Amino acid sequence: MTPLVNVIPLESGDHLTREEFEDRYGRSPHIKKAELINGVVFVASPVHYRLHGVPHSQMMVWAGNYCIAIPQLLMADNATVRLDDKNEVQPDIILRLEESVGGQSRISADDYIEGAPELVIEIASSSAAYDLHDKKDLYCRFGVKEYLVWVVSEQAFYWYHREQGSYVQQQPDREGVLRSQAFAGLWLNLPALLQGDMKRVMLTLQQGLASPEGQRFAEALKQQSQ
């Protein structure tokens, strides 16, 4: 008979090294999402349909279509990101450039992301959530160029761009469109998004991709990858 092994449960508030965190997380198949931030464990609550599942899928469609148009930019959903020995996160969505075109992250031998992705998207439960506090500070410190947080319950959307070591909140134009500073052509029609009008969201994205700056960005990455 195989002896029983006591497995210490992974709980929010635990202070662990990344190695201890990964070991306990791996032994807790019932936990679908947990993160280590500044050495402290955060275990996510069950995921709601309207407050998380639907908006998450909408952002996946938006970001995914941008990646289809610019193949040197890669997207992942809920992938583990190792930042250092005290920080391991699992963002809702990440966009990362291939290393061949200057990407600042890489894939480890055991198939995890190491280093900061260029862009991170999170769906937050409220403006008091750690996405807009601990994680925001963490992403900025490790060099995530752009950080997007959709607080669905409050009909609020925050888009931060990293400038000189700090995050600056992007403001929409007169039409309510937010434009990426790091990824030309990545445009988001904020009023349409908050109204659930994904047709208009996608139309605005296509306009961004077809813009002169969007075309130049895509061509520049294509040339770098050759």
Q: Where are the domains of the chain?
A: 8-46, 48-225
Look over the chain and give the mean of its residue pLDDT values, rounded to a whole number: 93
Here the contacts of 14-23 (C-beta below 8 Å, separation 24 or greater) are 14/40, 14/41, 15/39, 15/40, 15/41, 16/41, 17/85, 17/86, 18/82, 18/84, 18/85, 18/86, 18/87, 18/88, 19/85, 21/88, 22/88
pLDDT at 127: 79
Whole-model pTM: value is 0.91
pLDDT at 4: 39
Residue type, 18: R
Architecture of domain 48-225: Alpha-Beta Complex (3.90)
**Intervals of the chain under pLDDT 70:** 1-7
pLDDT at 3: 42
Contacts of residue 171, Cβ cutoff 8 Å, sequence gap at least 6: 178
